[in-house]
Amino acid sequence: MRGDYFTIKGYGENELIIQKSRFLTYIKRAETEEEALEFIQEIKKQHHTATHNCSAYLIGEHDQIQKANDDGEPSGTAGVPMLEVLKKQGLKDIVVVVTRYFGGIKLGGGGLIRAYGRATSEGIAAAGVVHRKLHELMKVTIDYTWLGKVENEVRQSPYPLKEISYTDGVDLFLYVPVAEVEEFTSWMTEMTNGQASILSVSSEFLETDS
């Protein structure tokens, strides 16, 4: 499983006018090809009277699934430039549709490539980019006598504290980057003189703004 990548927050849209043509960008996170195709069809249905509904998507840890569709624009002037923007920005699991309503002025091949590339870039900016990083949710169980010291150290550490549960002992749940689990375990063991029980509960992605 990938542990560290960039994608968009969720959904975004943008409008761009170039030489009287309207370029409407719709962009969304998609983790499967089915999700991407469903989104493309949804936008096509919404804009069935548009001149073109061009699309591109990039899915998978190693970009295994990547498709570009010019939808009637000259070959290579719409879908491919859109896909190239996604690649250049290093984004994963993303689908974009750029709907064009022709304004009566032809842009030429180079003009179309620039227009669709710009429409995609502005759509990404509208959605916002996030950094997704895989963490282990660690459960640290300690005796109440250690609570003051451990909680204080934890709250000053870089590890996000999810919650504290008070039962016979105290359970602290923290997010630790996968690559730092061993270091975290050693740190916690040393802090409690080996009296803490440290377990991994689950693997979860945390997102931070790029």
The confidence score (pLDDT) of residue 210 equals 67
- Do residues 135 and 181 make contact, with C-beta atoms less than 8 angstroms apart? no
Beta bridge pairs of residue 46: none
The confidence score (pLDDT) of residue 39 equals 97
Q: How far apart are CA 106 and CA 98, in angstroms?
A: 17
Q: How far apart are CA 119 and CA 131, in angstroms?
A: 22
| Residue 71: closest CA among 90, 91, 103, 96 | 96
Report whether pLDDT(98) > 60.
yes
**What are the pLDDT digits (tens) for 130-162?**
999 999 999 999 999 999 999 999 999 999 999
| Residue 203: φ, ψ to 5° | -110, 130
The Cα-based distances of 187 to 6, 140, 157, 184, 193 in angstroms read 29, 12, 11, 5, 10
The Cα-based distances of 81 to 51, 72, 110, 111, 147 in angstroms read 18, 15, 10, 11, 56
Extract the tokens encoding 1.
């499983």
Report whether pLDDT(24) > 90.
yes
Percent of the chain clearing pLDDT 90 (strictly above): 89
- Do residues 37 and 167 make contact, with C-beta atoms less than 8 angstroms apart? no
Helix (H) or strand (E) run with residue 40 in it: helix 33-46
Which is more confident, 1 or 106? 106
pLDDT tier for residue 193 given thresholds of 50, 70 and 90 = very high
Report whether pLDDT(32) > 80.
yes
The confidence score (pLDDT) of residue 209 equals 82
Report the sign of the C-alpha dihedral through residues 206, 136, 62, 54, in that order: negative
pLDDT tier for residue 59 given thresholds of 50, 70 and 90 = very high
The confidence score (pLDDT) of residue 127 equals 95
Report whether pLDDT(2) > 70.
no
Report whether pLDDT(1) > 60.
no
Q: How far apart are CA 193 and CA 43, in angstroms?
A: 59
Across the range 159-188, mean pLDDT stands at: 94
- Mean pLDDT score across all residues of the chain: 94
